[in-house]
Amino acid sequence: MGFAYDFDWGVLWRQPYGIWLLQGIWLTLKIGFLGWIIAFFWGIIIGTLRVTPWRWLRLMATAYTEVFRNIPFLVQLFFWYYAGPMIFGDHLGRQINQIMGLNYYVAIFALGFYTASRVAEHMRAGFASISRDQYQAVLSTGMTQYQMYRYVIIPYALRIIIPPLTTEFLTIFKNSSIAMTIGVAEITFMSYRIDAITFHGLEATTGAMFIYLVLGLTIVWIMGIIESRFKIPGMIGR
């Protein structure tokens, strides 16, 4: 029994579908990059707090990491979008719900905060891989704890964890497809939308796959350049 399916690759560039895909790409890029900026800086802060000598800060950072790391992103996104505004009470919650493009902002922040917990864990691994002697060497020069992390340890750790960060940077673009479930019209949403109207889901999904692949490979390439410039010889790659 053959499949009664006529391929029509034209749905990938015929109008308005081609424009939809381009709009989807633009939105995916925006969500991914903005989410990554939040994830990167917030992740460094949380990761650093997890190894500081102050117990309460350490506890709070650990709690943050464990909460965000252990709940599926889909569930988090759904929670922040539907239940999030209710935290602020009925009146303020309703006003938050009136914000135009709320789902887009929620997607960026949810993605950023979720990925931050993962970046924080990589940071911790980076700190752990730096030997005790080096911390003591820095402190013996008269630097304070803050100065030690700010000028020596964090830049040092970041250079060590470039490979796992590349993976996280890739993952944030892939995870952005989950924003579809709260109605953000990114690539996956658009390919499903084309499917719903033309019933050519195979072509639309293949198109989306190809776009993600090109996007991913571009990121790998850029991160490869960064890695070759900033890696510490002997630590990653030879």
In sequence order, which residues have a C-beta less than 8 Å from that of residue 187 and are 6 or more positions away? 21, 24, 25, 27, 28, 177, 208, 211, 212
Min CB(231)–other proteins separation in Å: 43
Q: Which is nearer to other proteins, 82 or 230 (CB)?
A: 82
Type of residue at 229? R
Residue 17 structure tokens: 């579908």
Q: Which is nearer to other proteins, 100 or 225 (CB)?
A: 100
Q: Which is nearer to other proteins, 102 or 130 (CB)?
A: 102
**In contact, 21 and 190? CB cutoff 8 Å:** yes
Q: Which is nearer to other proteins, 8 or 66 (CB)?
A: 8
**In contact, 228 and 153? CB cutoff 8 Å:** no
Min CB(133)–other proteins separation in Å: 54
Q: Which residues bind other proteins (CB under 8 A)?
A: 1-5, 82, 85-86, 93-94, 97-98, 100, 102-103, 180-183, 185, 189, 192-193, 195-199, 201
**In contact, 36 and 42? CB cutoff 8 Å:** no
Min CB(199)–other proteins separation in Å: 5
Q: Which is nearer to other proteins, 121 or 186 (CB)?
A: 186
Min CB(12)–other proteins separation in Å: 18
Min CB(181)–other proteins separation in Å: 5
How many angstroms separate the CA atoms of 168 and 70, rounded? 16
Residue 78 structure tokens: 């759904």
